Amino acid sequence: MTSSIAFPSSRLRRLRRSSVIRSMLMESRINLDSLVYPVFVQEGIEDKEPIQSMPGLSRLPLSMLNHEVRHLIELGVRAVLLFGIPRIKDEHASSAYAEDGIVQRAVSSLRREFSSDELTIITDVCTCQYTTHGHCGLINGNRVDNDSTLDVLARIAVSHAYAGADIVAPSAMMDGQVRAIRDALDDNGFKDVLIMSYSAKYSSSLYAPFRSAADSAPRFGDRKSYQLYYANTREAMREIEQDILEGVDIIMVKPAIGYLDIIRLARDTFKHPLAAYSVSGEYALVKAAAMQGLIDEDAVIMELLTCIRRAGADIIITYFAKRAAEIMNGKVNR
């Protein structure tokens, strides 16, 4: 008996009938050049230290950094975002801009072995890991002092540039940080060093595993007075616009997976290169589900990264960068 249902002349399912056709018609693709791998470098350790809050990741001693990065480059990941964990903290984050600071030595070590054409070195510019109080700026009384923090952020950025960083990434969410850093870089002869600002950085519970990994949790209060409230969209666009007016080269949205609408709006609103940071909590949630056998970890990694790309990100900062590269290179061990 012939069905009386009238089908359209174009059956869209035909576009999905085989893996080759699906691949050929894929609208959003991840490429290895778009991935950035965050790396924790810790002062005063001799061997890798597994990060309990982020299974599969470790804090690295300086002596093992170049080997780790060489492996990344061989996989096709050619950009790292460095986070330093110092031995000494104080009220003024002085180790963050010290000539012999952990990040400065890490950058110098990498730069001696890898040229800018082989590896892009990005450095996080903030105070939280370097202060006894754990906030992203200097404290005046019981509050974070925006304006006095700007000079410190500028000093950190310049010290990273002297060491050989290609891109500095201010994450403190202080008003005016991009302008202060741009002026300082230019005044010190680093006109070609890029600024990738954490322009729309939300105050998120998803940062908890990172704060454990980097020993950067605030010792009092929280960061809600300077990071964005997760309910707000228009405010994020204003933050991004302000960074652009101050001379930022690359804008960023953080976190990523729960903020795909913000990434898409930023992509549609602004013409600047756009990075998205898939944060530690996003990583930990996937790992926890995979460790319980609830999901196919590799499949979820590729799906989530593709979703971030689909939303409009040019650059994806992710703790899954190494694994994604192994998957894309066919180096998958079960």
Name the residues annotated as catalytic: 201, 254
Q: Does the annotation place 126 within a ligand binding site?
A: yes
Q: Which residues of 173-194 are buried (b: 16+ CB within 10 A; e: fewer)?
A: bbbebbbbbbebbeeeebeebb
Quote the tokens at residue 181: 């850093």
**Is residue 59 part of an annotated ligand binding site?**
no
Is 223 one of the annotated binding-site residues? yes
Q: Pick from 146, 148, 157, 147: which is nearest to 184 by CA?
A: 157
- In angstroms, what CA-CA distances link 68 with 99, 110, 214, 234, 274? 23, 11, 18, 40, 26
319 in a labelled binding site: yes
| 3-state secondary structure string across 100-155 | CCHHHHHHHHHHHHCCCCCCEEEEEECCCCCECCCCCCCEECCEECHHHHHHHHHH
Residue 309 annotated in ligand binding = no
d(CA 54, CA 283): 7
19 annotated binding-site participant: no
Tell me whether residue 91 is annotated as binding.
no
As a whole number of angstroms, the distance between CA 282 and CA 62 comes to: 27
Rounded Cα–Cα distance for residues 241 and 265 (Å) = 12
Instruction: Confirm whether residue 136 is marked as ligand binding.
Output: yes
Q: Going by C-beta distance under 8 Å and a sequence separation of 6 or more, which residues neighbour residue 215?
A: 85, 129
Q: Which residues are annotated as a binding site for Zn(2+)?
A: 126, 128, 136
Q: Which residues are annotated as a binding site for 5-aminolevulinate?
A: 211, 223, 280, 319
